[in-house]
Structure 1
Amino acid sequence: MYEDRAVLDTVVEHATVAERKATGKQAREHTPLASHTGWVPAADRPDPVALLEEQNLTREQDLVPVRHGRMLVSPFTFYRGAARIMAADLKDTPRSGLIVQLCGDAHLSNFGLFASPERALLFDLNDFDETLPGPFEYDVQRMCASFTIAARNNGFTRSQIHDVTLASVRAYREAMAEFAKMRTMDVWYARMTEETVMATLQAAAGRKSGDRTERKAALNAEKRTRAIADKARTRDSLQALSKLAEFIDGEYRIISQPPIIIPVRELTTTTGLTPDAIEESVRTAFRSYRAYLQDDRRQLLERFELVDVARKVVGVGSVGTRAYIALLQGRDQQDPLFLQVKEARASVLEDHLSRSRYEQPGERVVQGQRMMQAASDIYLGWTKGVQENRYLYWRQLRDMKGSVVVENMVPYGMGLYAGLCGWTLARAHARSGDPVAIAAYLGKSDAFDTAITEFSVRYAEQNDRDFEAFAEAVHSGRLQSIAGL
């Protein structure tokens, strides 16, 4: 039996609560809360367009223009695809030294609803391609800057932008203070359920004090969230079958919708593989992935037969990395299971932080997701691709997933959403980091809130400049772009 010698040899030290608080307070002495305020771009800051070009070199070349087209929609969509740029900027920012499992790309569109194994809807982080242990501030800065950028993009006033951003970081700090008081297992079991989300929105809508416009906005947010949850419950493999496949010659096949969805039987790419070789590579990877699942889940998956595979474009930052959907069939043709297969690469944070302890990037993603999420997909797993230096991770597709449309959000509604995201990120960090030390570092005042809000304004302005440089690179022909996909 294989055993991790490093784990076996690890001696775990257990500090007292008083000692943990002292660690946080000492961190505040050498990295004051106000030090997070005055960010300016480094004098030797790399060309943001060049960083994107370097990422493009190993991506599917026919999809690179699609990625650029999605990033070109707005400064906010650009920010979604610019995790590598921000990782390079964060390396020079002050750090407390308090380490957690980072999401690595904790912008507000990477939070949403999905199903727990018990089929309950949870609100949580849902993208972990860049996950890595690192300073807790990195995720907070990425999240809060995303609210500033999204609020600016939605045309909010300066005061409204400030309030939305402040709400996200305040919720993080206040939630971490609560987690610091909780028993260890209570922190681990904490989760944001659909009922908790709705109760939060109902409480805001039912307030007797406050502005009537805000109460109306809260009521509308409650209605929209209920609609999102209702829709999420319909998003399963059977619904995906009706949208993504067609019945031909007695069997289901994934519909070709190029360039977004292309069945591998029709796929011609720059991978150096024929369509038949691509399909066989996915099938080989599938058998390997299945073999290393937990026994009960492996036996469950063995009841399904792999029927068809297609390349499917997803997200913004991920566009151009290899991503597939796999259609499986259980007892009959009305018993489908769709899996999503995504390529895992080194985290953008690994250029500036310690490299992952996991040799395979797919395992890094999966283990980070399991650490941060309150509940993870039963089919979450990883495997190596058949080609050298290609790694994959697997999970269910559309398993009751739901998300907000950021561009449709109004100030008060976005502020409520910011509070949910801030709490959720704090809960994810409290699972892997030390909530007592982090809470002691953050303190009871709003000093950290104010500092990160100011950082977010400065970073949003830099993001605007980067977006303009990116748009100019497209318009000049340096970068190719396809819009509307």
Structure 2
Amino acid sequence: MTEDSSQAEHVAGTEHASVADRAAGGKAARAQTPLNSHRGWSPAEDRPDPVALLEEQNLTRVPDLVPVRHGRMMASPFTFYRGGAKIMATDLKDTPRAGLIVQLCGDAHLSNFGVFASPERNLLFDLNDFDETLPGPFEYDVLRMTASFTIAARNNGFSSSDIREVTLEAVRSYREAMIQFSGMRTLDIWYARMSEQELLAAMDMARANQKGKAARKASKALEKNALKNAAKARSRDSMQALAKLAEFVDGHYRIISQPPIVIPVRELAETFGLTAEETEAAVRDQLKAYRQTLQDDRRRLLERFDVVDVAHKVVGVGSVGNRAFIVLLQGRDEQDPLFLQVKEATASVLEDHLPKSIFEQPGERVVQGQRMMQAASDIFLGWTRGMQADRYLYWRQLRDMKGSVVVEAMVPMGMTFYAHACGWTLARAHARSGDPIAIAAYLGGSDKFDRAVTDFAHRYADQNDADYQAFLDAVRTGRLVARGGV
């Protein structure tokens, strides 16, 4: 394969070559781009100023929220890395590539994995953020994921040996899982998923393999914490959101104003230059357009709900400043709520350096990329064009048994297990869209790729530390304004 072919051909795998030819292609890619070429990374001589890249992104964001974004990124080198996808995309363009294309998450750091409910109401572990998704070299996601583990492990104060082991486990798990997928039938890959039961079974096996009383005790604590997080995730639904985000006033629910994090549209009408009546009409027009992007049965389901209230809600780290809303809908009565989240979709940061998306609408790019990569996607995933010119949105459920780990609270054993789960999950996502046979043949059965990427991760973590300091200096000198504690 070459990167000059269309994205559709690469992602869909339409060539229908034999297994032997696909494996030969992967081995040929290794000769062209040796596994050790991923070792020894250093920044390009003409590397852009990282602070300037952030400033460039800020131009399209809500000005009042830009300081909030900076405040969240200031918390640690890890939170800075979470918000710096554009910075790393600029660095990745100069890294070696084997020419093996997959649907990329585009921002595959460890906090963008988590649990959520499948349509069958089972908890699944998967990628959960696709704002930057785009077809591209499989290495991009692997490098961003692996570096995130190095940075997070450093941030948690792990020893050098533990940092290395966590990092190695992430890439090793990816490589070994890809080899596994290369031997599977096509539909078996498509149906593969990591369920709650499979996660717990893996923890049981890991505990059984532990040697020493202290290690077994730590492993048992890890499993106990996982069960607690799963129970918490199950409680996170629209009823829980109603209790937390809404109040009952004059016989109906409305979203509580909690500025600057949550601001109901009734208080934002002037921001959009609309009266309250015009705002309500615009929201209903948006909902109607969004419903048209759903498949027929889900569209009919959504038509059973009526809009009650809408609010602007700040989310995440990297997304802060982009338009993001929550919509409260009601079904049969006040105790039948549905909360939807509406997020602004912009061009992927990868589109600065890779071929543009085949989808003209960035919201559709996000939705189609998510459907391609996830084992099961939200039934209410859809998109619209925003009320303002050149604004695009995608829609999904706000809380559908979603849960994530607290990275800062992880210990080495827990993060190593988590690295294994993330590596397997990323490989499964890539195997759905790319060619697992060619990628597995490229990666090979030795740990050469693992060690090379681990070397990259440690070098990039050093660069991230330097960029973080430059960012803090920009705040200190007044070049950037930051608002903490929000």
TM-score (normalised: structure 1): 0.96
Contact 1:61–1:270 (CA under 8 A) maintained in structure 2: no
- 1:292 to partner: Cα distance: 2.8
Which residue in 2 is equivalent to 1:111? 113
- 1:435 to partner: Cα distance: 0.3
Residue identity opposite 2:472 in structure 1: A
2:203 equivalent among 187, 201, 205: 201
- 1:163 to partner: Cα distance: 0.3
1:27 equivalent among 6, 29, 37: 29
TM-score (normalised: structure 2): 0.96
Distance (Å, rounded) in 2 between the aligned partners of 1:183 and 1:430: 11
Contact 1:130–1:365 (CA under 8 A) maintained in structure 2: yes
Residue identity opposite 1:163 in structure 2: E
Contact 1:62–1:269 (CA under 8 A) maintained in structure 2: no
- 1:246 to partner: Cα distance: 0.3
Q: How does 1:384-403 map to 2 (within 5 A)?
A: 384-403=385-404
Which residue in 2 is equivalent to 1:404? 405
Contact 1:264–1:276 (CA under 8 A) maintained in structure 2: no
Which residue in 1 is equivalent to 2:46? 44
- 1:275 to partner: Cα distance: 5.9
- 1:210 to partner: Cα distance: 2.6
C-alpha change, 1:211 and 1:23, in structure 2 (3 Å) is farther
- 1:342 to partner: Cα distance: 0.3
Which residue in 2 is equivalent to 1:361? 362
- 1:420 to partner: Cα distance: 0.2
Distance (Å, rounded) in 2 between the aligned partners of 1:48 and 1:269: 34
- 1:202 to partner: Cα distance: 1.5
CA RMSD of aligned residues (A): 1.6
Contact 2:50–2:87 (CA under 8 A) maintained in structure 1: yes
Contact 1:60–1:271 (CA under 8 A) maintained in structure 2: no
Distance (Å, rounded) in 2 between the aligned partners of 1:481 and 1:298: 42
Which residue in 1 is equivalent to 2:127? 125
Distance (Å, rounded) in 1 between the aligned partners of 2:161 and 2:8: 50
Gaps of 5+ in 1: 1-5
Q: How does 1:170-181 map to 2 (within 5 A)?
A: 170-181=172-183
- 1:307 to partner: Cα distance: 0.5
- 1:271 to partner: Cα distance: 5.0
C-alpha change, 1:482 and 1:7, in structure 2 (3 Å) is closer
Distance (Å, rounded) in 2 between the aligned partners of 1:269 and 1:101: 40
**Where in structure 1 do 4 or more consecutive aligned residues deviate above 4 Å?**
268-279
SS in 2 for 1:123: strand
Distance (Å, rounded) in 2 between the aligned partners of 1:280 and 1:39: 53
Which residue in 2 is equivalent to 1:253? 254
Which residue in 2 is equivalent to 1:226? 227
Q: Deviations over 1:60-98 (max 9, x none)?
A: 011001000000000000000000000000000000000
- 1:148 to partner: Cα distance: 0.1
- 1:38 to partner: Cα distance: 1.0
Residue identity opposite 2:206 in structure 1: A
Distance (Å, rounded) in 2 between the aligned partners of 1:398 and 1:70: 22
- 1:272 to partner: Cα distance: 5.1
C-alpha change, 1:371 and 1:439, in structure 2 (3 Å) is same
Which residue in 1 is equivalent to 2:63? 61
Percent identity, aligned pairs only?
71
SS in 2 for 1:63: helix
Contact 1:265–1:276 (CA under 8 A) maintained in structure 2: no
- 1:132 to partner: Cα distance: 0.2
SS in 2 for 1:308: strand
Q: How does 1:20-419 map to 2 (within 5 A)?
A: 20-207=22-209, 209-267=210-268, 277-419=278-420
Contact 2:13–2:434 (CA under 8 A) maintained in structure 1: no
Distance (Å, rounded) in 2 between the aligned partners of 1:58 and 1:41: 27
Residue identity opposite 2:462 in structure 1: E
Contact 2:13–2:433 (CA under 8 A) maintained in structure 1: no
Distance (Å, rounded) in 2 between the aligned partners of 1:167 and 1:269: 51
Distance (Å, rounded) in 2 between the aligned partners of 1:293 and 1:401: 21
SS in 2 for 1:484: coil
Distance (Å, rounded) in 2 between the aligned partners of 1:269 and 1:46: 38
Aligned residues: 478
C-alpha change, 1:475 and 1:281, in structure 2 (3 Å) is farther
Distance (Å, rounded) in 1 between the aligned partners of 2:114 and 2:278: 36
- 1:221 to partner: Cα distance: 1.1
Gaps of 5+ in 2: 1-6
Distance (Å, rounded) in 2 between the aligned partners of 1:7 and 1:17: 20
- 1:430 equivalenced with 2:431 (yes/no): yes
Q: Deviations over 1:163-182 (max 9, x none)?
A: 00000000000000000000
- 1:290 to partner: Cα distance: 1.0
Contact 2:179–2:440 (CA under 8 A) maintained in structure 1: yes
Residue identity opposite 1:233 in structure 2: R
Q: Deviations over 1:362-389 (max 9, x none)?
A: 0000000000000000000011112211
Q: Deviations over 1:147-202 (max 9, x none)?
A: 00000000001111000000000000000000000000000000000000111111
- 1:220 to partner: Cα distance: 1.2
SS in 2 for 1:62: helix
Which residue in 1 is equivalent to 2:4? none
Residue identity opposite 2:308 in structure 1: V
